[in-house]
Chain A
Amino acid sequence: MVDVPNQPTPTTGDRPTRARRRAAEGPFDLIVGSVWRFFASVRVAIWMIGFLTLLTLIGTLRGSVVPEHIGEAVPALQPLVDAWYGWNTFGSGLYAATMAMIAIGIIIGGMLNRIPGLWATIVRPTITTTRGFLRGTAPHATTQADTPVQALLADLTQTLKRRRYRVVTEQVGEDVHVYADRNRWGKLGTFPFHIALVMVVIGGILVTQFGFRDLQFVVAEGQTVAVGNDSDLSVRLNRFTDVYYADGTPAEYRSDVTVFDGDDELVSGSVQPNHPLEAGGVTLYQSGFGYNVSLLVTDRVGNELYTGAVTLGEYQASDNPDAPAGLLAVPGTNYTLNIIASDRDPENQPELDTMGLASQEIYIQARSPDFPGTVTPTAVITPNQPTNFGDLVVTFQRYGTYSVLQIAYYPALWLFGAAAVLGVGGLIAIFYFPHRRIRAIVSPVGANRSALLIAPLARRDWSGKRDFVLLLEAFRDATGTAVTIRDEPDRSAGPASIA
């Protein structure tokens, strides 16, 4: 990781070599070891994320005109373009497999494999360092003061603490080695962030496996309809309201509904575009609306066959395509009623309206295999006038409104919520609380003088170096001692060596 090249590692004699470790492993360990190393590698991670990026681009372009243009420009590629449009990238096994691989990589390489190293950096940092290492660092700084070691150390510690550094020291002979860092917990930000990514993947799997989404849940005013999909919920539409701007564009639609769990009333509330209603784990969205007619259908002796609303608008009447029409298969009979309502907008294309229904009238045609050919009974009826159609008696009760809702059930939604919080929190920790580290050696120079040699662990880290320079400026201002900051490694001291 980042800090390895910054600090010479003392080699100890009794560490098993890689070859000896290999020899001690069985084939199973070898495989596990290789898999682990594969997923632990950031290089592999980059390739995997890069591959997912590429797939995402391919899938995105499917929804654009870009492949089409490619096909026009290079006709030889046309078969490829067709295959491209035909391939549901985001639903493909390849896409899912890549995400799964990345999730495993995140768990192994982004998290587990890093715990020991991070733990050491955060909790048990190496305190001792070498002069050669410090001098070999760019930038590094030196100063001398007319005070004993402990006084200089106290000044340095004070400056560091004021800047929220934790300071730990270790006496090595006459020298005091200093390790100071701040935001050491910020390093851990990659954990919540990477965990959040895994949570999103798991949540996505749960939603696709167990969630449902009903895009056409139709419920008429006054009616109660079961949600289905293995749930005990049902929804009653109490009232539907629509309001328009002067130019006819819709300003507001609203469904006032009551949601039941079995027979228990759960929630009463309203559903509007952008304002869904949540109840019993499902979410209701406003999607559309339309008109219906309430009918009572009986047989000739008065036995009720059907009572309720028939939605209009799902069919077009050939006689007036402009008018809403609907169908009712009468239960328990082989009759189908074709229903055509009056034209809601007679101004629009009046030439199409060959029926001329008044606003409170409907047209009904009863079809049945029992009425072959042209003898189909038809009639225009007005409200509350029972009318005979073959064996049936139909009473048109009133016009009504129905609402089209979407009902969605997303399991484990909290996973996504938690992931959002963890992810953003993690990013803030990583980016805005960067781990800054400083090493120093304070040593006596003669009886009452002391010297400071200090450097940041900030290889190729411009901001870290800048912080270091600012820190030393603060130190200089606080103590009045002159500080020499060198931008280059001090080669005169020879190569970095263990002093």
Chain B
Amino acid sequence: MDTLVRLSFYFFTATTLALIGATICYIAFGVGFLRIARGQVQTAGGQGMTSSVTSLGTGPAPLAFGRFATTLGWFAVLFQGMAVLFRFSATRHGPTNMYDFSLIFVFALALIYMLMERYYRVRQVGAIVIPVALLMALYIWSLPAWMREVNPVIPALQSAPIMWFHVGSAIAAYAAFSVAFGAAVLYLIGERKRFTWLPSADLLDDLGYRSVTIGFPLLTMTLILGAIWANDAWGAYWQWDPKETAALFLWLVYGVYLHTRTLRGIRGRGSAWILIVGFFAMLFVYYGNYLFDGLHAYGGV
């Protein structure tokens, strides 16, 4: 194996460790919050609690977990950024198999999540999203080692820049939808039971929406670039190939989501459910290579 490829792999190993640590910390943080929140209910009678809980301040042990979680999260972003960088300096072409795709996925997911955490100043969503990133990293570990090797690509995949953006925007969109999923899960938990450690419903709704406002345009770009690339490679912009229609399906799911938000009555719980359906639809599209036969059925799976 070439040095760069090996370096990339070491960085990915570091990411995995950081994600394991971050997962533990985010969950400890959430669970710890539960306790603090209960304690406060007993002592302070709930007054002013929400504001003290939602800020990312310093404080007792669970809050220290929170700070660790955030630090480890950023480490994961950094390490995975290096892993991706070295990987593609070595291959000199765009991502072509599930190993490549998933490396980018983990990076995009960690990055988008950490940015959201910064913007909204809440950590609780990390208890859902960071474990998803970890699962994705573990999936990468389950892939056969030969996928890490660098091979020349088949001619249909050689249109490098378009291919980069096509695949890159798809994966970034999937990552954004995963963050929306985390927000939706917490939203629905909050609907059932008003845990005081949860961020406000409006915040979670907004976080989910904002994630989709990243994911939906990216998925739109994916479809457009995919059509251009398909035309260059196969002489047709759109052939109703399963992988194409799968992406269209996903795009329509989020189209439905966007409209539900303008309707009272569906907005909120209904929208959150669609985000959850959308997440599983995304996994179906992402792992679709295992199920489809068609033009996209290369990529080493």
Interface residues of A (CB under 8 A from B): 1-2, 5, 42-43, 45-46, 49-50, 52-53, 56-57, 59-60, 62-66, 90, 213, 215, 245, 249-250, 253, 273-276, 283, 285, 287, 406, 408, 410, 416, 420, 423-424, 427-428, 431-432, 460-463, 465
The answer to whether B233 touches A273, judged by C-beta atoms less than 8 angstroms apart, is yes
CA distance A432 to B165 in the complex (A): 21
The answer to whether B236 touches A213, judged by C-beta atoms less than 8 angstroms apart, is yes
Q: Give B50's nearest chain A residue, CB to CB.
A: A487
10 residue pairs A–B, Cβ–Cβ below 8 Å: A46-B260, A60-B245, A60-B249, A63-B241, A64-B293, A283-B235, A423-B224, A424-B220, A424-B224, A460-B268
Q: Give A45's nearest chain B residue, CB to CB.
A: B259
CA distance A377 to B110 in the complex (A): 75
Residue among B221, B236, B252, B288 making CB contact with A408, cutoff 8 Å: B236
Q: Which residues of A contact B149 (CB under 8 A)?
A: none
The answer to whether B232 touches A462, judged by C-beta atoms less than 8 angstroms apart, is no
- Tell me the smallest distance from the CB of A168 to a CB of chain B, in Å: 26
- Tell me the smallest distance from the CB of B259 to a CB of chain A, in Å: 5
B14 within 8 A of A: no
Residue among A46, A59, A462 making CB contact with B256, cutoff 8 Å: A46
Q: Which residues of B contact A65 (CB under 8 A)?
A: 291
B231 within 8 A of A: yes
The answer to whether B217 touches A424, judged by C-beta atoms less than 8 angstroms apart, is yes
Interface of B is mostly: helix
The answer to whether B292 touches A63, judged by C-beta atoms less than 8 angstroms apart, is yes
B294 within 8 A of A: yes
The answer to whether A50 touches B232, judged by C-beta atoms less than 8 angstroms apart, is no
Q: Which residues of A contact B221 (CB under 8 A)?
A: 424
A53-B253, A408-B235, A424-B221 known; 6 new pairs, CB 8 Å cut-off, are A42-B262, A46-B259, A283-B231, A424-B220, A428-B217, A431-B216
The answer to whether B237 touches A462, judged by C-beta atoms less than 8 angstroms apart, is no
- Tell me the smallest distance from the CB of A481 to a CB of chain B, in Å: 22
Residue among B248, B252, B294 making CB contact with A63, cutoff 8 Å: B294
Q: Give B212's nearest chain A residue, CB to CB.
A: A431
Q: Which residues of A contact B231 (CB under 8 A)?
A: 276, 283
Please choose the segment from B23-31, B100-108, B124-132, B201-209 that sits at the chain A interface, where 4 or more of its residues have CB less than 8 A away: B201-209
Given contact pairs A45-B259, A52-B252, A274-B155, A90 touches B235 in the complex (Cβ within 8 A): no
Residue among A64, A66, A90, A273 making CB contact with B158, cutoff 8 Å: A273
Given contact pairs A64-B291, A250-B155, A273-B156, A431 touches B242 in the complex (Cβ within 8 A): no
Most buried by B among A1, A249, A273, A416: A273
Number of B residues whose C-beta is below 8 Å from A?
50
Q: Which residues of A contact B237 (CB under 8 A)?
A: 410, 416
CA distance A52 to B256 in the complex (A): 10
The answer to whether A60 touches B253, judged by C-beta atoms less than 8 angstroms apart, is no
Q: Which residues of A contact B264 (CB under 8 A)?
A: 5
Residue among B152, B216, B253, B294 making CB contact with A249, cutoff 8 Å: B152
B41 within 8 A of A: no
Ranked 8 nearest A-B pairs via Cβ: A63-B242, A462-B206, A285-B235, A431-B213, A64-B291, A53-B252, A406-B235, A56-B249
B97 within 8 A of A: no
CA distance A213 to B252 in the complex (A): 28
The answer to whether A276 touches B291, judged by C-beta atoms less than 8 angstroms apart, is no
CA distance A339 to B245 in the complex (A): 44
CA distance A448 to B59 in the complex (A): 45
The answer to whether B152 touches A90, judged by C-beta atoms less than 8 angstroms apart, is no
- Tell me the smallest distance from the CB of B188 to a CB of chain A, in Å: 16
B246 within 8 A of A: yes
Q: Which residues of A contact B155 (CB under 8 A)?
A: 250, 253, 273-274
B148 within 8 A of A: no
Residue among A49, A66, A285 making CB contact with B255, cutoff 8 Å: A49
- Tell me the smallest distance from the CB of B271 to a CB of chain A, in Å: 11
Residue among B210, B232, B249, B291 making CB contact with A463, cutoff 8 Å: B210
Q: Which residues of B contact A213 (CB under 8 A)?
A: 235-236
- Tell me the smallest distance from the CB of A282 to a CB of chain B, in Å: 11
Given contact pairs A49-B259, A424-B221, A432-B213, A276 touches B232 in the complex (Cβ within 8 A): yes
CA distance A287 to B224 in the complex (A): 23
CA distance A77 to B288 in the complex (A): 23
Given contact pairs A275-B232, A424-B220, A59 touches B255 in the complex (Cβ within 8 A): no
The answer to whether A245 touches B267, judged by C-beta atoms less than 8 angstroms apart, is no
B263 within 8 A of A: yes
CA distance A336 to B206 in the complex (A): 74
Q: Which residues of A contact B156 (CB under 8 A)?
A: 273-274
CA distance A137 to B241 in the complex (A): 50
The answer to whether A462 touches B202, judged by C-beta atoms less than 8 angstroms apart, is yes
Q: Which residues of A contact B236 (CB under 8 A)?
A: 213, 408
CA distance A59 to B264 in the complex (A): 32
B266 within 8 A of A: yes
CA distance A463 to B242 in the complex (A): 38
CA distance A66 to B262 in the complex (A): 35
CA distance A66 to B290 in the complex (A): 10
Residue among A43, A410, A460 making CB contact with B202, cutoff 8 Å: A460
